[in-house]
Amino acid sequence: MKPDVAYQVPLAGKISAVKLVQVNTGGVLLDQISVNGLVVRQFNDGDADGQVFLVQVTSTDTLIYQHGLIAEGEFFVHSVVFRFDGSKLVDAMKRDSTGRGRGWFELDTAYSSMAGAGQIVTKYKGITNTCSYAKSQVSCSAKVPRPKFSGRLKVKRVLSLSAPRVGEYTDPLWYRCKTKSLSSCNGIAINVKKGIAATKPTYRLRRADKGKWIRVCATYQYGHWGDWLCSRRSAAKIK
């Protein structure tokens, strides 16, 4: 962020003005982060420029990265990540013993804050996170793991939604595909009873599934990332 510039970003579901200012208090320069005019964080690094990044991770939420200075070569290292809960900043992630963030939220272990535009790709346990950055702002997107299921493709056998390496799947819906085409899987989910969809992590194959293909869709959630995803169709018809 550039000092004294109000950035309009989504925070906690609302567009908010985030500003970084430097104030002199008794000869000590303090950096302050404000949200809609309210100071939510104050720290003393002596140089506000290039030490705070706004990272939009969803259409309704933005993370605030505060970097710390490493003396060698004017590099900055990721130290703390915050999110705004509507009234205050809260720590958005756990840090390891070095104080650096872990996993795919980390932009990089070290990079020059004076560098031009660039891109960093981080892979972490099935998640591919891509951050494109300039001097003042960073935008990130993630490719998260598609649901998978296991079990014998035979009537009366049970299929189980597989757990991801990190995060979790919730709100599963099982679908019956009339043909190999994935478009035939869309529409109304399988009903286990009249008016009751198959929404459990497991599904027992029924006679109506014979000769058809199966797929499952679910909401994936890990940290600030979430998406509704569907598995590939079953490798073969149900016997």
| The one-letter amino acid at 2 | K
Instruction: Report the distance separating Cα 150 and Cα 19, nearest Å.
Output: 49
- 21-25, long-range: CB < 8 A, 24+ apart: 21/48, 22/48
| The one-letter amino acid at 209 | D
Predicted local confidence at residue 98, as pLDDT:
42
Predicted local confidence at residue 223, as pLDDT:
64
Instruction: Report the distance separating Cα 158 and Cα 76, nearest Å.
Output: 51
Q: What is the mean pLDDT of each run of 10 residues along the chain (239 residues)?
A: 84 89 80 90 64 74 67 46 82 50 40 52 74 59 86 96 91 89 75 83 93 92 76 92
Which DSSP state fits 50? T
Predicted local confidence at residue 104, as pLDDT:
33
Predicted local confidence at residue 25, as pLDDT:
78
Query: What are the structural domain ranges in the chain?
Result: 7-143, 149-230
Among 220, 228, 225, residue whose Cα is nearest residue 104? 225
